[in-house]
Amino acid sequence: MRSFGIVDDKVKEAEFFLTQLTGCNNFFEARCYSVAFAAATRSITFALQASLRDLPGFSHWYAAKQTQLKADSLARFFHDFRRVSHHIGEHVIGGGTFSAGKMLFYFRAKKGGQKRGHGLTLDKRDLTARGRAWRES
C-alpha cells in the first residue's frame, strides 16, 4: 500500500492549476491551465486507488463514489473535457471573455453534428466546495 500523501500531493497539484487558471488573463494560458487542471483532478482518483485499494471496504466505498461522480454534471463535464483534450488533442475551449474579474469560457460541444458553444464561469469557490463535500461524504 502506498502512502496517502500521494493523494494530498495530487489535490495540491490540482488546486495549483485551478488557482493559476482563475488568476490568468491570457487566453493561451487559460487553455493550458484548464487542460492541466483536468488532468490533475483525474489523477487524484488514480492516486486514491493506488493508496487505498488494499484497505478493507475500499472497493465498495469507491464504487459508490464512482456512481456519484457519473451522476454529477460538473464531474461529467470535466471527464469529457479531459477525454477530448487528452485523448483526441482538440482544444475544448473555443473562446472566452474576461469581465468584472471573472472568466467566462465557451466550450465547444457537438450535438447532432452541429457545433454549439456552452458557457461556464470557473468559480474556484464552487469547485472547491464541491470537492470538499465529495471528500467528506
Residue-wise pLDDT for 7-22, tens only, equals 999 999 999 998 888 7
57 contacts 63 by C-beta, under 8 angstroms: no
Count of domains forming the chain: 1
* CA–CA gap between residue 84 and residue 100 (Å, rounded): 30
Confirm if 72 and 64 have CB atoms less than 8 A apart: no
**End-to-end Cα separation, the chain, in angstroms:** 23
Domain of residue 93 covers 5-136
Residue among 78, 87, 84, 91 at smallest CA distance from 41: 78
Q: Is residue 10 packed enough to be buried (19+ CB in 10 Å), middle (13-18) or exposed (0-12)?
A: buried
Q: Say whether pLDDT at 97 is over 90.
A: no
Check: CB of residue 86 under 8 Å from CB of residue 35.
yes
pLDDT of residue 1: 65
DSSP structure class, residue 98? E
Strand partners, 106: 95, 119
| pLDDT tens sequence across 28-74 | 888 888 889 888 988 998 999 999 999 999 999 999 999 998 888 88
